[in-house]
């Protein structure tokens, strides 16, 4: 029997096969916080040899899922853009959760749910609650893609976000990104990235003890409550 031709406009299988390998999936996940990492660091995080990591990175590079930056003799890899991060987040949302085998894994899983970066914007319970607070306060309007109101523009200017510069970026302005742990959207795009950058610069959030993790500071809890009426957030600081 001759197979019937099915028209398609993208070679989904080629990209899916790149992500499907466990080592390459681990490498891509390690790059989800937007940082550029050396091959040796990625090998350690994926639990493979340097030679094995280099071979997988070559395939990811050829497939356009990562880019490389050279500094002297060193080469640093990062995701090729926010679109790749979005694909990985969607896959995480429909994938089974790995079995937790230690107290450390349980603690990190809890911290990932509370506050993390999704490429370059705030995600987890913290990101979802911030978006809900901004919508409730009238800072944003819309559903699947948001527009900033005049009231929201003033609030973000107070936060230190240059909205005009954000609009000039060649990237979607303020799309919703479905959070894979909360099953509700957080704010992504150029605006989500700019807000997250300001939160870190102000010291309202700080990097956590593992990649992607963020910790809410006391200053941040007070500031988010005062500026956005965003309450009920908890710190990600591990209990010792």
Mean pLDDT (the chain) is 89
Same domain, 193 and 141: yes
* The token pair that represents 143 in the structure block: 């559903």
Question: What CATH code is carried by the domain that includes residue 32?
Answer: 1.10.10.10
Q: Tens of pLDDT along 118-133?
A: 889 999 999 999 999 9
Residue 5 domain-assigned?
Answer: no
Determine the pLDDT at residue 239.
47
Q: At what angle do helices 124-136 and 103-114 cross, to 10 degrees?
A: 20
Q: Does residue 66 contact residue 15 with C-beta atoms inside 8 Å?
A: no
Which residues span the domain enclosing 175? 104-228
Residue 159 domain-assigned?
Answer: yes
Same domain, 109 and 205: yes
Has residue 2 got a pLDDT over 90?
A: no
Same domain, 154 and 75: no
* Backbone φ, ψ for residue 95 (5° rounding): -95, 150
Q: Tens of pLDDT along 70-128?
A: 888 889 999 998 889 888 888 888 877 777 677 777 888 888 899 999 889 999 999 99
End-to-end CA, the chain: 65
Residue 72 domain-assigned?
Answer: yes
Q: Tens of pLDDT along 175-204?
A: 999 898 898 999 999 999 999 999 999 999
How many domains, the chain?
Answer: 2
Determine the pLDDT at residue 104.
75
Q: Does residue 199 contact residue 122 with C-beta atoms inside 8 Å?
A: yes
Same domain, 111 and 69: no
Determine the pLDDT at residue 105.
73
Same domain, 61 and 159: no
Has residue 1 got a pLDDT over 80?
A: no
More confident: 38 or 95: 38
Residue 234 domain-assigned?
Answer: no
Question: What is the value of pTM for the model shown?
Answer: 0.78
């Amino acid at each position: 029997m001759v197979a019937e031709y099915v028209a398609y406009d993208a070679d989904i299988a080629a990209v899916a096969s790149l992500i499907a390998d466990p080592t390459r999936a681990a490498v891509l996940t390690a790059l989800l916080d937007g940082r550029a990492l050396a091959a040796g660091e990625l090998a350690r995080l994926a639990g493979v040899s340097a030679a094995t990591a280099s071979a997988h990175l070559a395939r990811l590079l050829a497939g356009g899922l990562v880019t490389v930056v050279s500094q002297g003799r060193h080469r640093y890899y990062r995701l090729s853009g926010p679109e790749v991060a979005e694909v990985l987040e969607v896959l995480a949302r429909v994938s089974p959760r790995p079995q937790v085998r230690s107290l450390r894994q349980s603690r990190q899983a809890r911290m990932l749910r509370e506050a993390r970066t999704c490429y370059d914007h705030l995600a987890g319970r913290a990101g979802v609650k911030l978006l809900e607070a901004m919508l409730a306060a009238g800072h944003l309007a819309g559903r699947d893609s948001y527009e900033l109101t005049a009231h929201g523009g003033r609030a973000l200017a107070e936060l230190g976000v240059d909205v005009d510069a954000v609009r000039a970026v060649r990237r979607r302005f303020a799309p919703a990104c479905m959070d894979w742990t909360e099953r509700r959207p957080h704010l992504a795009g150029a605006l989500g990235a700019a807000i997250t950058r300001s939160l870190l610069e102000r010291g309202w959030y700080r990097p956590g003890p593992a990649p992607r993790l963020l910790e809410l500071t006391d200053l941040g809890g007070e500031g988010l409550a005062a500026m956005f009426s965003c309450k009920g957030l908890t710190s990600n600081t591990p209990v010792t």
